[in-house]
Amino acid sequence: MLIKTPPMGWNSWNTFGENINEDMIRETADAMVSTGLKDAGYEYLVIDDCWSEHGRDKDGRLVADHVKFPHGMKAVADYVHEKGLKFGMYSCAGTLTCARYPGSYEHEFIDAETFASWGVDYLKYDYCYHSPIVPGPYLYRRMGLALENCGRDILFSACSWGSDETHEWIKTTGADIWRSTGDIFDSWKSIRDLTQQQEKLHPFNGAGCFNDMDMLVTGMYGKGNVGIAGCDDVQYRTHFALWCFMQSPLMIGCDVRNMSDATKETLMNPGLISLDQDPAVRQPFRIAKWDGGYVDKVLVYARHLAHGELAVGLFNMDSEKARAQFNMDELALPESTGKTIEMHNVFSGETIMPQNGAVGRVLEPYACEVYRCRIVDL
């Protein structure tokens, strides 16, 4: 399969970890529909690690945990599909998964066939306990071939955490998305660190193989499997805006059965989702990269969109107020072109214009402003 925009959905790991079961997954599928997440574009429901028995059956096949999933994975997948959603699962390139359940090493083809028979649409493929002898590219190419020959379209989510120079070889494997960073945790430090890790990898993002900055922690508030300090709603909104601006996959990690109103508003912001799903899939670029500490505290990004539009994002990564400013010539639109931009704020709906060939905005701590911009005459 060839995906043209980053996938959107929900994954069980960030909140639930090993505490997953059939009833919770069904309730999550119900909530994805009733809350409007499905209509907003979130179509994949993915079960992460800890879903299987600790041993394979007599035929060498993976088996769903009989206590957690008493009706088997095919029944779970059928329920998810009945809701108009797509169903995802997890395995690993090693002998064991990260939580020490059976991995797919040297079982790639039989596992791919098993997933296809269950109706799986998405496979997250981790990198724990992998062979120290067989290089990563071979492990992911093997599963890529297995998925492409299993008789079903299954999105291949390669999760090697960006290690072993993944960016240099991942597009040889058939992966549709690849984890370009380490694991996320529910803290502002983690969000900031992953954003910094991503910058050098922007050139490797693109249609058919998207950089995955890991799952969203928006709405977790310090609870759950990766909960640490938690964040406030301003920080969660900036987190989500950054992932959208970078065109990362959007995989929700909070418990969608009881989201706050602020969480719903952030995760279903149509302006941000449209940036993440923009069909042009063009690389963002930094502007206003100043000295004196500004580089680390305030990020200003721009991106060319489809139909001749631009996106501009101003992100305050610091705990104090900060001013973000850029000049029009940094967008290749100096006064000599006779053009400028009309800037539409995707949060407030406000429209502003540059003044004297520049834009300057004061940002509250951890806050952001994101604009969809139209080219207009001066």
Rounded-to-10 torsion of CA 144, 149, 154, 160: -10
Q: 305: closest CA among 327, 270, 278, 283?
A: 278
Provide the pairing of β-strand 285-286 with 298-304. Answer: antiparallel
CA distance 353 to 312: 13
CA distance 144 to 306: 30
Written in H, E and C, the secondary structure of 266-292 is HHCCHHHHHHHCCCCCCCCEECCCCCC
Which of 153, 183, 233, 329 is an active site residue? Answer: 183
CA distance 141 to 147: 10
Distances (CA, A) of 194 to 189, 190, 215: 9, 6, 11
In terms of phi and psi (left: phi > 0; alpha: psi -120 to 50; beta: otherwise), the region of 111 is: alpha
Contact predicate 371/311, CB 8 Å: yes
- How many other C-beta atoms lie within 10 A of the C-beta of residue 123? 25
CA distance 162 to 164: 7
Strand arrangement, sheet containing 310-316: 285-286, 298-304, 310-316, 368-377, 339-345, 351-352
Which of 126, 214, 276, 278 is an active site residue? Answer: 126
**Tokens 């107020």 identify what position?**
321
Number of H helices, E strands in the chain: 12, 16
CA distance 230 to 190: 10
- The alpha carbon of 306 is separated from its chain's Cα centroid by a whole number of angstroms, namely 21
CA distance 262 to 258: 12
Question: Is residue 126 annotated as a catalytic residue, yes or no?
Answer: yes
Q: List the catalytic residues.
A: 126, 183
